[in-house]
Structure 1
Amino acid sequence: MPKFQLNRRRFLTAASLGISGMALSGCDAFDFLQDSDNGVRNVLEGANGLTYRAQRLLAGRASLAQEFSEADIRQSQRPNGVTAPDDDTYKGLLSNQFADWRLDVAGLVEKPLSLSREQLMAMPSRTQITRHDCVEGWSCIAKWTGVQMGLVLDAAVVKPNARYAVFHCLDTIERSLSGEVKYYGSIDLLDARHPQTILAYGMNGKALPVENGAPLRVRVERQLGYKMPKYVHRIELVDGLGAMGLGKGGYWEDRGYDWYGGI
């Protein structure tokens, strides 16, 4: 009898995509899940917590996502989500090669920060070659360079009651009569301080391209692609997620996605 081997990454990916992710396929059959009082959605949201606990149990606090060699980079990094923000603020920053862009770190911190890209690049950097797994089913390997998010949090001196890092982005993901909604997301501080969680400003040995999130995107290598916001301009440390969007922890999470998104 052949030996059965359980691959943690495959198991968690299947759990995430197969349970809560089935609502993310873009199929009209699942439109009803956007109804906040729908019983099926409530079951799926309960599964989100199970995914989170399973990831923590199987992966532990400090386990690393697989890293690859440069020989494994066989194609350019496929962009996901918005690829060319048409927001006036973003276009103005881009026209000046992001010279006026700043990363603000605020909320539950002792020392709020406003960092230029040059200041971030002057901090100790980390380069890692990892695989990006999209909830749509594709993967891509690329080399990312940036500063470990933990170093930025240390510089800001996070207050003891902070539990989450919320990312505020420059790209508008939705427009309606009620106004513009810019992309937002969050991770807990355990993942924010993971050694492979970086604020990336470089990709494949060059400056981060616009379509991949310039001037700064988050890389959270143990999670799916939608957990890695692009065009980030502000990180807010908070003690809860209820005040953000619909209270589920991110733009897509507010629309039925798994908050943790672990792989």
Structure 2
Amino acid sequence: MTRPNDPNRRRFLERSLLAGGALLLSGCDRVTRSDTMQSLFDASGALTQQAHRLLASRESLAREYPAQDIAPEFRANGTTDPSSDLYRRLAANDFNDWQLQVEGLVDTPERFSLAALRDMPARTQITRHDCVEGWSCIGQWTGVALGDVLDRVGVRDTARFVVFHCADRYSGGDLYYESLDLREAYHPQTLLAYDLNDASLPIANGAPLRLRAERQLGYKMAKYLMRIELVDSLDHIGRGQGGFWEDRGYQWWAGI
């Protein structure tokens, strides 16, 4: 099992970020703040990101846990059963017709079936999911490293961000999406996960494929992945802030 170089440092950064978020966030379905608080939160988030990257190496790992720490049931939150006709058709056929489209600033756009992703080298990791609501849960994830998929399509030099487009509309609103920069996308623990606890990913937890970016808070872990897009800017995606919740006031940087 692997641990970060300095667990105390990681805990300090995690608590600092969560403490800052707690001043402004009252759960994953409401954000209320003044313009002044918005500015303070943005500044705090930028400082947190800079501090984290100054102190943590590019390859520093999130803590991995022994098997006995795995929760009997991994908690599901957010959307737990997308209602779109397309998603329901795909689920009804055990996602045999599902494909992940990878496009944008890449040399060779490609579609990957679930079987094709399973045929690629796999990684398994037991990690803790930390939600901004204040709860956490430990689960075992298996999937393909996102970096391996990106290498298959060839990332162009102009690309800066990886955007994850999902099948679910949270509370009937906009389609869920999230994004990472290329540094986090290529981190060895950033997975496109298709298994949870030695079984195919349940629908409630994001089937057939979800993002696991283990150095980030839970709202970055996009579920129900349909499309990955490489872009040079986030301005034209959603409302321009880099993610569903970021468009509603959360910080784009959610590192812990």
TM-score range for the pair, normalised by the shorter chain length? over 0.9
Q: Which moved more, 1:24-33 or 1:69-78?
A: 24-33
Selected match of 1:182 from 168, 175, 178: 175
5+ long unaligned stretches in structure 1: none
1:257 is paired with a residue whose SS is coil
Identical counterparts, % of pairs = 53
Q: Which residue number corresponds to residue 116 of structure 1?
A: 113
**Match of 1:7, SS?**
helix
Write the distance in 2 (CA, Å) between the matches of 1:227 and 1:168: 12
Q: For residue 200 of structure 2, what is the amino acid of its counterpart?
A: A
How many angstroms apart in 2 are the aligned matches of 1:113 and 1:75?
37
2:211 to 203, 213, 218: 218
1:6 deviates by 7.9
Q: Is 1:174–1:182's contact at 8 Å kept on the other side of the alignment?
A: no
Change (3 A) 1:75 1:108: same
How many residue pairs align between the two structures? Answer: 251
Aligned residue for 2:32, secondary structure, equals helix
Q: CA deviation at 1:93?
A: 0.6
1:29 to 1:62, Cα distance in 2 relative to 1, 3 A: closer
Aligned to 1:99: 96
- Matched residue of 1:159: which SS? coil
- Separation of aligned partners in 1, 2:242 and 2:31: 21
Given the alignment of the two structures, is residue 198 of structure 1 paired with residue 191 of structure 2, yes or no? yes
Consecutive unaligned residues in structure 2, runs of 5 or more: 1-5
Root-mean-square deviation over aligned CA pairs:
1.8
SS at match of 2:98: coil
Deviations 1:110-155 (A, max 9, x none): 0001000000000000001111111111111111000000000000
- Report the alpha carbon displacement of residue 80 of structure 1 after superposing the two structures with TM: 2.0
Structure 2 distance, partners of 1:208, 1:72, is: 19
**Residue 74 (structure 1) shift:** 3.5
* 1:261 and 2:243 correspond: no
Distance in 1 between residues matched to 2:28 and 2:115, nearest whole Å: 43
Instruction: Trace 1:72-151 onto structure 2 (pairs within 5 A).
Output: 72-151=69-148
The CA deviation at 1:174 is 4.3
1:150-201 deviation per Cα after TM superposition (whole angstroms, max 9, x unaligned): 00000010000101000000001143xxxx5110010000010000000000
* TM-score, reference length from structure 1: 0.91
| In structure 1, C-alpha distance between the alignment counterparts of 2:103 and 2:29, rounded to whole Å | 39
* Residue 49 in structure 1 maps to residue 50 in structure 2: no
The aligned amino acid for 1:116 is S
Matched position secondary structure for 1:105:
strand
Superimposed CA distance per residue, residues 210-257 of structure 1 (whole angstroms, 9 cap, x where no aligned partner)? 000000000000111101100011000011111112211101011111
Aligned residues of 2:98 and 2:114 also touching (Cα < 8 A): yes
State the Cα distance separating 1:31 from its structure 2 match.
Answer: 2.0
